[in-house]
Amino acid sequence: MPKVTVVVPAYNAEQTIIATIASVQQQTYQDWELIVIDDGSSDRTLELLNRIREPRLQVYHYSNAGVSVARNRGLAHAQGELIAFLDADDLWSANKLELQVAALQQHPHAAVAYSWTYFMNATATTIHAAPSVWFEGDVYPQLLVRNFLYSGSNPLVRRDALVLVGGFDPTLTHGEDWELFARLAAVVQFVVVPVAQVFYRQSATSASAQVELMEQRILQVIDSVFSCASPQFHHFKNESLANFYQYLTGIRLAQATSVEDVKQAGQKLQMAVRLSPKILLNKTTQLYLAKMFLMKLFSPGITKKNSQLSTAYLTQFKFKQV
């Protein structure tokens, strides 16, 4: 029986699934099984999976039901004592499982091991590291404020802990990973592997309507998470909301093609500041303010085309790291 089960939910992932599977095959820790849940793909995902010669790979095909259901289906098939989820467009460094397994062995009272994250663009041609965090043990307060794991592709979790909290909420289509992490953090301890090992793919091409839908649904998730929290944690809600509106600001700026788009990004940032004024001291907030200034001054199109100009102006600002 394998020590680790890796669950990959896949939906129309023909562009990335081979690289994702390869990042599991290249792990230095080899005591694993790999379960891919094809969630009703209509492209060549299933065809490509069937070409892979890997005895530890199991592929299951279902009608489309969403990422939360797909992950839970993978968990139902899993035999491993430890469970890792990996989205079909993300990647791992070769020692990801090795170091996370070791962390849980060294900290038997912890049920979740997580690593630091790299962000990469849709084509994996641009990569930068997320801020380093060191939260361990009872991380519930910190996780209520911000999803410092960033993605469902990050943690290695003891199977018993996932069963205890009931897995992913099948009704959620956005924020489902953070919601699960919050439920885990309320009852188990976390341990950090202080190395960037998760390559989290991000895209700035989502339509505005999709962003609006995401905003609506994640606000509902935030309400749900805090409704389950004891009153002593309720004061963290405004800070959590502020961080989310800061995140929406970044999405709006990445998509901006007009001054009106920049204005809408500014409205999101104003909401963040109203909810938690101290976010003005945050380096990311100050970078967004500078970027909005440049985009209004030169127009979004000019600023986005001339990244060297943007960088030159932004480096004139001195930001406080918080």
Q: What is the tens place of the pLDDT at every residue in 25-53?
A: 999 999 999 999 999 999 999 999 999 99
pLDDT at residue number 209: 59
pLDDT at residue number 321: 33
pLDDT at residue number 304: 55
Q: In which residue ranges of the chain is pLDDT below 70?
A: 203-209, 301-322
Confidence (pTM): 0.90
Distances (CA, A) of 143 to 82, 191, 236, 314: 21, 13, 10, 30
**Which part of the chain is CATH 3.90.550.10?**
4-201
Task: Note whether 111 and 188 are within 8 A (CB).
Answer: yes
Q: What residues contact 74, with CB distance under 8 A and at least 6 apart?
A: 5, 7, 8, 9, 35, 36, 37, 60, 85
The gap from C-alpha 278 to its chain's centroid, in whole angstroms, comes to 24
CATH topology of domain 4-201: Spore Coat Polysaccharide Biosynthesis Protein SpsA; Chain A (3.90.550)
pLDDT tens-digit series, residues 281-309: 999 999 999 999 999 888 776 565 544 43
Buried b (16+ CB within 10 A) or exposed e, 117-126: bbbbeeeeee
Which tokens belong to 85?
């989820």
CB count within 10 Å of CB 316 equals 7
Give the SS3 label for residue 5.
strand
